[in-house]
Amino acid sequence: MEIQLQELIDQIKKEGVESAEKQAQTILETAKAEAEKIVASAQAQADKILENAKSENERMVKSGEDAIRQAGRNLLISFRESISREMDAILNKSVNDLYASESLAQIIINAIEGWASKPDAENIEVILNSDSLKSLEDKVLAEIKEKMLSGVTLKANDNFDGGFRISVNNGTAYYDYSAEAVVEMLSNYLSPRVAELLKEA
């Protein structure tokens, strides 16, 4: 009986140990699988964080480069506008100084001679502001008579500050030599040339 009991105890111990070993093996395999899953998930998150950081870095670098390029363009545009304003101011002063000088009478006479030489130009009217007309009328009319340029009349119009306008053939053709028009014409001519010079610099 003692032997049977001992065999039974040994059998129970053996089965218990085997069961415990199986359970331990199962727990170990489950833990190992879970650990591999956690490591894989952590690696995937790390890869994603790294990829996001790389993308963000590339975006920031591109954004910085774009900002530098835009700042360069803005600086160049601002510089060109500044040059253009300065050039317009210089042209404006030069033309107004010329038109305020004694040279205006000769400029008008030269323009009249140019128009009078055209066979189809008749009834030439020179339009000046009142102040210019008063100061130049005698000189211009004397020169017109001396050169025998007939059909030329001088008129006052205060719709512009300096310079003059010429109307021919009873107003069918009209040519603007006002200070504003001459400055605009010179500016339109010089602006592309200045832009080319700035590109070359």
Domain definitions of the chain by residue range = 1-100, 103-200
Q: What share of the chain is helix, strand, coil (3-state, %, to 5)?
A: 75, 10, 15
C-alpha to C-alpha distance for 46 and 38, rounded to whole angstroms: 12
CA–CA separation, 50 and 69 (whole Å)? 28
Whether the per-residue pLDDT at 1 is higher than 60: the answer is: no
Q: What is the pLDDT of residues 41-64, one digit of tens each?
A: 889 898 899 999 899 889 998 988
What tokens does 183 get? 């400055």
Structure tokens at 126: 């020179």
**Residue that wins the pLDDT comparison between 9 and 41:** 41
3-class DSSP state of 156: strand
Q: What is the pTM of this model?
A: 0.55
State whether CATH 1.10.630.10 applies to domain 103-200. no
Q: What would the DSSP string read from start to end of 70-103?
A: HHHHHHHHHHHHHHHHHHHHHHHHHHHHHHHSTH
What gap in Å lies between CA 15 and CA 157, rounded to an integer? 125
Average pLDDT, the chain: 81
